[in-house]
Structures are given as C-alpha cells and as structure tokens.
Amino acid sequence: MQLPLVLALMALLTGPALAAESKPAFKSDPAKGQQLAATCAACHTADGTRGLPANPILQGQHPEYLVKQLTEFKGGKRENAIMSGMAAPLAVEDMKHIAAYYASKKAPTGFAKSKETVALGEQIYRGGIAARQVPACAGCHSPNGAGIPAQYPRLGGQHGEYTEAQLLAFRSGARGNNAQMTTIANKMNEREIAAVADYIAGLR
C-alpha cells in the first residue's frame, strides 16, 4: 500500500477520536441554572428555600438527586402532572445547570413541630424499628440528615409535611421510583411516618 494512502486511512480512523478527546468536558453552570429555574420560582420560591409545605425545599439538595428526579419526571417513572410538564422540555444539560444552581445554595434549617412525637421520630430515624426490620434512616441519610451525595438525598430541614406525604406515597404505591423506600414505608404505620417526618424537619 502506498504511503499517501496509508496516511489518509490513518487520518480517517484517528480524526473522530481526536475530535472526541478535544471536546471539553461538560461543566454545570449555576448562573445558567438560575435563569432556567425562573419558572420554578412559582412553587419553589426564587432560590428553592422555604415555600409552601406541599412543595419540597430544593436549596442545598445534592445535584445528582435533583437531576435523577427531573429525569424520572420527564420519563414518567415518577408521576406528577405539574413536574412532568415542567421537566418535559429540559435537556439533560439543562437539568444539570438547574441542579447546580439549587445545590449552590446553603441548605435551610427547620424545626420539629410536635413535642409529643419527637422522641418516637428520633428513635426511628436513629435506630429504626427492629421488630419490623425498618432500618435507621440515619444509615443512608446521615445522622444530621445531610444525605450522601450521588446516593441519598438531603432530608434535614425539609418540610415535615412534604416528607410525610412522600413516605405515604411510597407506601401506597403512588410514588414508585424507589423500591427501597417503598419497602421501608410499607412496614411503617401513619403515626410512625408522621413522627419521623416531623423529626427530620428539625435536623441540622
């Protein structure tokens, strides 16, 4: 084979690989995320902090978790008419920008509201319910509710009402995007769910 032909073939084979290597790695941009999140403010407030208890606090949440939820709303794995519509037009890059914006904010602090159930809530969060093989929440979500990035979401400071609603949704099957949480919630009664959700609201 003639040398010019060999060189031409090498160029064809290595060209795409070199182009791929030269492409810069994606980097989330919180500033762009803030612009994209403008429509989120109606439910989650301008910076994702303490809005209505029916809506989750996004401020300080792990970006990987936020991207996962947006992806599952868009794909239908997690059902919510409003959020499915909001996520539908978002590209994965948009989701990462939005998640980076909310994650860049300091996580808010909250407080438990029920003195009567705080001891029960603490017992479940830190020790689980051994008789029914309910694991301690702290094992995955950390003792202070900070969660583990890329694995488990931050819970500390979240609206107690929202956490309670999600646990009940896992138990009923209305929320089906986490088999582990469905199994756990199915082993808990409503009083226990309310108690641990209220306790979580005061973690910091």
Question: What is residue 58's DSSP assignment?
Answer: -
**pLDDT 10s digits, 149-167:** 999 999 999 999 999 999 9
Rounded to an integer, what distance in angstroms lies between the CA atom of residue 135 and that of residue 126? 9
pLDDT at residue 203 is higher than 80: yes
Q: Is the pLDDT of residue 18 over 80?
A: no
Quote the pLDDT of residue 153.
Answer: 97
Domains of the chain: 30-103 (1.10.760.10), 118-201 (1.10.760.10)
Average pLDDT, the chain: 91
pLDDT of residue 48: 76
pLDDT for the residue 2: 57
Report the residue count for the chain: 204
Asked if residue 198 has pLDDT above 80, the reply is yes
Please report which confidence band the pLDDT of residue 16 belongs to, taking 50, 70 and 90 as the band edges. Answer: low
DSSP strand E in 47-117: where? none
Task: Give the list of residues 6+ apart from residue 31 with CB closer than 8 angstroms, or none.
Answer: 101
Residue 84 and residue 73 in contact, taking contact as beta carbons nearer than 8 Å:
yes
Q: What is the mean pLDDT of residues 159-176?
A: 97
- CB neighbours of residue 153 within 10 Å: 20
pLDDT of 70-107, one tens digit each?
Answer: 999 999 999 999 999 999 999 999 999 999 999 999 98
Q: Which residues contact 74 (CB under 8 A, 6 or more apart)?
A: 84, 87, 88, 90
Query: How far, in Å, CA of 186 to CA of 171, rounded?
Result: 5
Going by C-alpha positions, the residue among 160, 54, 41 that lies closest to residue 101 is 41
